[in-house]
Amino acid sequence: MRRPVARKLSVLAVSAAVVSVGAAAPPQATSTPEKVPVAVGYGGAVSSVDADASAAGIEVLRKGGNAVDAAVATAAALGVTEPYSSGIGGGGYFVYYDAKSRTVHTIDGRETAPLTAGTDLFLENGKPLAFADAVSSGLSIGTPGTPATWATALGQWGSRPLGSVLKPAERIARDGFTVDDTFRSQTASNETRFRYFPDTAKLFLPGGQLPVVGSTFKNPDLARTYQQLGRKGVGAIYHGDLGDDIVDTVNNPPVDPSSGWKARPGDLSEKDLAAYRAKLQKPTKTSYRGLGVYSIAPSSSGGTTVGEALNILEHTDLSKASEVQYLHHYIEASRIAFADRGRWVGDPAFEDVPTKGLLSQKFADSRACLIKDDAVLTSPVAPGDPRHPGACTDRGTAAPTTYEGENTTHLTVADKWGNVVSYTLTIEQTGGSAITVPGRGFILNNELTDFSFAPANPAVHDPNLPGPGKRPRSSISPTIVLDRHNQPVVALGSPGGATIITTVLQVLTEFVDRGLPLVDAIAAPRASQRNAAQTELEPTLYSSGERSQLEAIGHSFKLNPEIGAATGVQRLPGGKWLAAAETVRRGGGSAQVVYPAP
């Protein structure tokens, strides 16, 4: 992890240096595009964490594809270059702006629990499993939703077939990409788990060693898998031999017997795969400063929680607030919104989620009055009741925020017609379950560990317990902001588990209220409060004068080396787009446009 940059930036387009480590000279590296954090131009834009992936999307746009085609191409490429954060073994949420109708649409591509799963999925002898024991097991693996998301998006709004948009990713998997510091460090942090599973170790620890920075990493198995998907469609997963291989892997995890690891089997079936559907659903909508903020509705909590926090902040003039007062109100709004998220949000197919109430200004006002300029709320804050909001009241028992893996990935795309995609996809934590499907080249998710293993308080209903075919609650928050004429202003999103919500909220308020350029709003040092006793701060804020001033009114902090890795696109006058990515986090992101402006 690298230290975040200072709050005010003068951004220059600089390429990321590639440093070789290890005694032996690395194999000849493939050509990798320059990584730059901001790009402005015409013909469309792509922003992701990876230069090869952004280039894959640009290639599709340059050949006449639209934003949806390019988003799928970029996502598929991230499955090659960011295999510990995304891939066809996982799921995600897709938000799409249609320029012709000026409307926003979404796809819930979240993974689902097996149809045999009950609330006791992660109980053993009546007690919750240790988190580490649950992660690297078949129990943690949900039915993948990413392939269905791609097929649904292309079928609804795309202009190219799946086989066509998979070609750039297939080529990268076959020919290889250049290993960077982030890929090596993420491999190193998972090395012990990867060695439990021979197929994972063979693929990601070539020759039994960590991949060398500057070397070329190839994944011919994944290239063949993409080729098969392009030929046969995603039915190869949900009704075919690829799906059979996934089921066998989940139910009989291919563990190395000498490792001593107890890889508990799952109970996924061909019936689970055949029953899976990516859901087309309405977005959440919040009005903020006269703008329309659109995001994903439950099963993710992202849209409702970011939306509620924005509503809480609506009547506070953050543009004129001091830096300390801005951070104070942002932190407190996050704290309250997370309290309500924990009580009310789950899979709406199983839970009565009061989405409309959570997003109502009346409910937000009933919660906003809890915030004082010179005092701090004590966490955990008890939830309010959006069905019966009462001024400055809370009802029920507070529940702590459950853990979510922090290494997801986000991409943002716009095309020359004005269509926009904000898409966050994931396999949950870094390295997912660590279980690779033999011969297929991709890791399976551990998304089911996003469920509560047991109720935090047995006396209070927990909307996020496992259930048959249920989708675990997520914090993913892909967001598109429209102006009064329903034209795009900005689109953004981030990885980071539960910190996704606070990252999106902070970037939005830095951009809309504080007037920072998009790339500076993304780069600004972050704080994350999730209804916990302490607020997490990145190093620049942790060592700042603002921290001591906030502590003086009652805030408590702990250090988090890195929070999120956002990307975004912004519509500019005259058909231009600005793409923005991280300058430093996760090695810096890659912003690209089809035709750069002079």
Query: What are the residue numbers of the active site?
Result: 408
φ, ψ at 579 (rounded to 5°): -105, 140
Q: Report angle CA 193, 246, 123 to the nearest 5 degrees.
A: 60
d(CA 373, CA 238): 54
- CA separation (Å) from 336 to 431, 534, 556? 31, 14, 16
Sequence-distant contacts of 454-460: CB under 8 A, at least 24 apart: 454/122, 454/123, 454/128, 456/399, 456/400, 456/402, 457/397, 457/399, 459/397, 460/343, 460/396, 460/397, 460/399
Sequence-distant contacts of 319-322: CB under 8 A, at least 24 apart: 319/513, 319/514, 319/515
Contact yes or no for 104/294 (Cβ under 8 A) = yes
Beta strands in 99-181 (DSSP E): 103-109, 123-124, 127-128, 177-178
In the block, residue with structure tokens 């819930």: 108
Handedness of CA 509, 514, 520, 525 (dihedral sign): negative
421 forms bridges with which residues in the sheet?
A: 96, 413
Nearest to 510 by CA among 454, 438, 568: 568
- CA separation (Å) from 369 to 361, 378, 380? 12, 15, 17
Nearest to 589 by CA among 31, 201, 45, 191: 45
d(CA 384, CA 378): 15
Q: Which letter, b or e, does each residue of 159-191 get, where b requires 16 or more Cβ atoms within 10 Å of its Cβ?
A: ebebbbbbbbbbbbbbebbbbbbbbbbbbeebe
Concatenated DSSP letters of 542-579: HTSHHHHHHHHTT--EEE-S-----EEEEE-GGG-EEE
DSSP H or E segment with residue 415:
strand 409-415
